[in-house]
A and B are shown apart, each in its own frame.
Chain A
Amino acid sequence: MRRTIRAAVGAGVLAAALVMTGCSSSGSSNSNDGSLGTADKPVKLTFWGWAPNMDKVVDTWNSTHKNIQVTYVKTDAGDPAVTKLLTAIKAGSGAPDLMQAEYQKIPTLVSADAIIDIKKDVSAETTSKFSDGVLSSVTLGSDALYGIPQDSGPMMFYYRADVFKKLGLSVPTTWAEYADVAKKVHEADPKNYLGTFSSADAGEFAGLTQQAGASWWGSDGDSWSVDIDSASTKKVASFWGGLVEDGVIDNQPQYTPEWNKGLAAGTQVGWVSAVWAPGVLAGNAPKTAGKWKMAPLPQWTAGEQATGNWGGSAVAVTSQSKNVKAAVQFNTWLNTSKTAVSQMVTDGGLYPADTVDSKAALATGNGFFKNQPDFYTQAAKIAETVKPFTYGPNVNVAYSAFNDQFGKAAQAKSQQAFLDAAAQMQKITVADLKNSGFTVK
């Protein structure tokens, strides 16, 4: 995930401090009175999140539910928010009732007792609105339910339709074709690339291996297994390593000013991304509106239909919440009511995880993809093909190992270095898991 170095350092310092300061008053003390409040004496909830315009959705709730009043607090996205929550949990106070949490962070939060199982307060009708793949990231394959999914990020392939037309290229449906097209794009103009291998986006790489059939962690009761350096990961690593070694795709990280410039100037001709890409494209390269098109991710075997997930969050109830029932009621409304989900699409530009209630709002298509009016119909089809994937309790360690190892490999421009990087990631992740006291198989 993108963040400034400062923030990264900050998160690191916080994390280190958490380890050092043993003064924790863990053991959640929920009074759990189940009160739902009245208009005169409303239950007050706090909700931390960072999704754009979520405050407006919360306002809608507050104006129609006088008995439960929610204060929305916009925090920094991703890692800093998690670190802040964990600090508050350790400190014994200061945590909100509800918290937006990226899917890959949920095992970390569960193992830190920061978020709780809300299964008994959530109906089967609510959970039936999510695809199995998405639901598995909040159940972690158990009987529990650690949050209600908010948005998801099925991965797709974006390309500049105008450039493809000019060069007479057809949209790649397999990765072999992708490599071929990448070569042609770069040969036609050495400044242009079909994509880049970004060593700053571990989530993207994880999604690509997910498509290939990898699942980096596995849990069996109390023990964890790590399978980062699997055949599937090796396949993906060696594919991108080969492209970088041949110089047919770029080796610079995404979300840098340089990369933004490439998008805007048209030297980045394609982007392997996810369903939320239109927002990023519109923000970084507004003048390329109408020139992009979206297609399913290229496949490893022709005719197959599979994709991975990059991004997306759930909303969880924290272990410091004293009003779990009210929090779950709000959470259910927020992520599975037609009103809230529609507003999430129109105001927030999110792609809701709730596939039932979002249909109407998504039917109008995406403003940046006017040339592709059925954008969300296609997206919904692609979303159904997300392969299962399990995240472990030390995703942060694995991801930072990815940044370090693949960062070096991308600069070295060698296929072998990519394979070595995957092996290193495995080693670092297993060592950390053992160090943190988990049983590792």
Chain B
Amino acid sequence: MSTVTKPLGSRGSMARPQLAKNRSGRIGANDKTSYTSTIILLLGALYCLLPLAWVLMASTKSGGDLFTSNTFVPSRHLFDNIVELTQYRGGLYWRWMLNTALYAGVGAFLSAAVSAFAGFALAKYSFKGKQATFMVLLAGVLVPGVILAIPQYFLLAQVGLTNTYWAVLLPQIISPYGIYLARIYAGASVPNEIIEAGRTDGASDLRIFLRLAVPMMAPGLVTVFLFQFVGIWNNFMLPYIMLGDDRLYPITVGLNGLLNQGSTVPALYSLVITGALLSIIPLVVLFLVLQRFWKVDLGAGAVKS
């Protein structure tokens, strides 16, 4: 409490009773606001967690129990559901999981690499049309990816690549936002002096980039990687448009397909719910592991000049 009274006391010879009154008043007000905000935060948490709890409970129920038993009373069919999901059309679900990992992992890696090259070039080299290129990229940041999906489909159809892994990978390799971030980060974290020093020592531009710039840009590139990874993992529209073969589907489109069986076949609710639950796990793990980088990097990129 001394920390609270000190600044007040330092204002001058304030009467003690008044101070006490002030103090109790302040504490009261503090308590009140903290109660309200706690309640609001709790409600917010409940709002976010309730659907998750529902998925958790529902995934333990058999198809017959799903719509009849009490919503939040768990049952014992989780393992059966996972087995059933695994058996669905010869383990198709796990193939979707691997597909998603491939799309998100490879896509995000390539995207981070392209962003690093492009961002570094835009930040550190001067060439004709540099500003124009950057402006076009900035405009690209403003265009939602969904809008580009159809033109991309037509372009890929011209070269016969629709309905292949490439159809989903290629369009996601270039991320205007990733290049923008990389440029800002390269500008802020790679001093020109280091590049000059490298040149003086006779290193080639590629070597300077790989050996000097990339390590210095690494935290920023991790951010780009994570952004793209989560973006691709959750992407629905692009694979939905590009792919016809459900062996190539990522989780999002695959689960949607399980619900969308046509009116003559029952929707596979239990499978979808269990599948949705399992599909969260890799993202949760990724976030727990990489959370540190994520936070630090956003802050770091924002404050450095």
Binding site for B on A (CB under 8 A): 1-4, 6-7, 10, 13-14, 17, 21, 23, 48, 50, 52, 55, 73-78, 80-81, 84, 87-88, 90-94, 96, 102, 151, 153, 201, 203, 255, 257, 260-261, 263-265, 274, 276, 279-280, 282-287, 310-312, 349-350
Q: How far is the CA of A72 from the CA of B245 in the complex (A)?
A: 8
| Nearest neighbor of A258 in chain B, beta-carbon distance | B67
Query: Assuming the A-B contacts A48-B244, A52-B265, A55-B89, are A78 and B150 also in contact, with contact meaning beta carbons closer than 8 angstroms in the complex?
Result: no
Question: Is B79 an interface residue when CB atoms closer than 8 A count as contact?
Answer: no
Q: Shortest Cβ distance from B145 into chain A, in angstroms?
A: 13
Chain A residues closer than 8 Å to B237, beta-carbon distance: 10, 13
B63 contacts chain A at the CB level, 8 A cutoff:
yes
Does B115 lie at the interface of the complex (its beta carbon under 8 Å from any beta carbon of A)? Answer: no
CB neighbours of B160 from chain A (8 A): 93-94
* Contact A21 B154, CB 8 Å, known A75-B244, A93-B162: yes
A158 to B150, CA, bound (A): 43
Partner of B263, one of A203, A282, A284: A203
Q: Is the beta-carbon distance between B262 and A1 smaller than 8 angstroms? A: yes
CB closest chain-B residue, reference A277: B264
Minimal beta-carbon separation of A252 from chain B (angstroms): 14
Q: Is the CB of A311 within 8 A of B154?
A: no
User: Would you list 28 pairs from A and B whose C-beta atoms are within 8 A, ordered by A residue?
Assistant: A1-B262, A2-B261, A2-B267, A3-B260, A7-B260, A10-B237, A21-B151, A50-B261, A73-B247, A76-B257, A78-B260, A78-B262, A80-B240, A88-B162, A90-B154, A91-B154, A93-B157, A94-B163, A257-B67, A260-B67, A260-B269, A279-B264, A280-B266, A283-B265, A283-B267, A284-B266, A311-B264, A349-B265
In the complex the two chains form, is A2's CB within 8 Å of B260's CB?
yes
**A84, A203, A283, A285: which contacts B244 (Cβ < 8 A)?**
A84
B266 lies within 8 A of A10 (CB): no
Chain B residues lying within 8 Å of A350, measured Cβ to Cβ, are 264
A298 CB to nearest B CB, Å: 21
Contacts of B262 in A (CB 8 A): 1-2, 50, 77-78, 102, 311
In the assembled complex, B185 has its CB within 8 A of some CB on chain A: no
Closest 9 CB pairs of A and B: A283-B266, A77-B262, A91-B157, A261-B67, A17-B150, A276-B264, A73-B245, A94-B162, A286-B64
Query: Chain B: which residue is nearest A349 at the CB level?
Result: B265
Known: A88-B157, A282-B266. Contact between A75 and B241, CB under 8 A?
Answer: no
| Alpha-carbon distance between A287 and B146 when the two chains are bound, in angstroms | 43
By beta carbon, the residue of chain A nearest B252 is A6
Q: Is the C-beta of B225 less than 8 angstroms from some C-beta in chain A? A: no
Chain B 224-254 interface 0/1 with A at a Cβ cutoff of 8 Å (1 = within): 0000000000001100110011110000000
User: Which one of B162, B244, B264 lies within 8 Å of A280 (CB-CB)?
Assistant: B264
User: Whole-angstrom distance between the alpha carbons of A2 and B68 in the complex?
Assistant: 21
| A14 and B150 contacting across the interface, CB-CB below 8 Å | yes
Interface residues of B in 258-288 (CB under 8 A from A): 259-269
List residues of chain B with CB under 8 Å of any chain A CB. Answer: 63-64, 66-68, 89, 146, 150-151, 153-154, 157-158, 160, 162-163, 236-237, 240-241, 244-247, 256-257, 259-269
Beyond A87-B241, A93-B158, A286-B64, 11 additional contacts (C-beta under 8 Å) are: A1-B262, A2-B259, A4-B256, A14-B150, A52-B261, A73-B244, A88-B157, A90-B154, A94-B157, A94-B160, A283-B267
A91 vs B157: C-alpha distance when bound (angstroms): 6
Complex contacts, B151 vs chain A, CB 8 Å? 21
B67 touching A311, Cβ below 8 Å:
no
Chain A's closest residue to B163 (CB) is A94
For the residues of B in contact with A, the DSSP-based class is: loop
Residues of A within 8 A of B267 (CB): 2, 255, 283
The interface residues of chain A lying within 8 Å CB-to-CB of B66 are: 260
Q: For residue A75, which residues in chain B have a CB less than 8 angstroms away from its CB?
A: 244-246, 257
Min distance, Cβ B252 to any Cβ of chain A, angstroms: 9
Is B68 in contact with A264, judged by CB distance below 8 angstroms?
A: yes
Is B244 within 8 A of A92, CB to CB?
no
Give the CA-CA distance A17 to B237 in the complex, in Å. 13
Q: How far is the CB of A412 from chain B (nearest CB, A)?
A: 25
Give complex CA distance A312, B244 in Å. 21
CB distance from B34 to the nearest CB of A (A): 39
- Please pick, from A13, A91, A203, the residue contacting B162 in the complex, using a CB distance under 8 A: A91
Least CB distance, A92 to chain B, in whole angstroms = 7
Q: Is the CB of A4 within 8 A of B153?
A: no
Chain A nearest Cβ from B70, distance in angstroms: 12
Bound-state Cα–Cα, A75 to B245, Å: 6
- Chain B's closest residue to A72 (CB) is B245
Measured CA separation A435–B153 after assembly (Å): 26
Of the residues A6, A13, A263, A265, contact of B256 by C-beta under 8 Å? A6
Q: Determine the chain B residues whose CB is within 8 A of the CB of A55 once the complex forms.
A: 89
Q: A93-B157, A94-B157 are in contact. Are A255 and B241 (CB under 8 A)?
A: no
Of B146, B260, B268, the contact of A80 (CB 8 Å cutoff) = B260
A6–B266 Cα distance when bound, in Å, is 18
Residues of A within 8 Å of B269, CB to CB, are 257, 260
Which chain B residues lie closer than 8 Å to A287 at the CB level?
64
Tell me, in angstroms, the Cα distance from A254 to B25 when the chains sit together: 59
Q: Is B236 touching A14 in the complex (CB atoms < 8 A)?
A: no
A201→B263 contact, CB < 8 A: yes
Residue of B with least CB distance to A261: B67
A78's nearest neighbour on chain B, judged by CB, is B262
- Cα–Cα, bound, A75→B262 (Å): 11
Q: Identify the interface centre among B150, B158, B268: most chain A CB within 10 Å of its CB.
A: B150
A76 to B264, CA, bound (A): 13
Would B236 and A6 count as touching, CB distance under 8 A? Answer: yes
Residue contact B67 to A284, C-beta cutoff 8 Å: yes
B241: chain A residues at CB < 8 Å are: 10, 14, 84, 87
Q: Is the CB–CB distance between A279 and B266 below 8 Å?
A: yes
Q: Which residues of B contact A153 (CB under 8 A)?
A: 264
Given contacts A77-B262, A84-B244, are A23 and B154 in contact (CB under 8 A)? yes
Chain B contacts of A276 at CB under 8 A? 264-265
Most A CB contacts (10 A, CB to CB) among B146, B259, B261, B264 go to B264
Q: Assess whether A87 is in contact with B153, with CB atoms less than 8 Å apart.
A: yes
State in angstroms the CA–CA spacing of A14 and B154 once bound together. Answer: 12
What is the distance, in angstroms, from B294's C-beta to the closest C-beta of chain A? Answer: 27
By a CB distance below 8 angstroms, the chain B residues around A2 are 259-263, 267
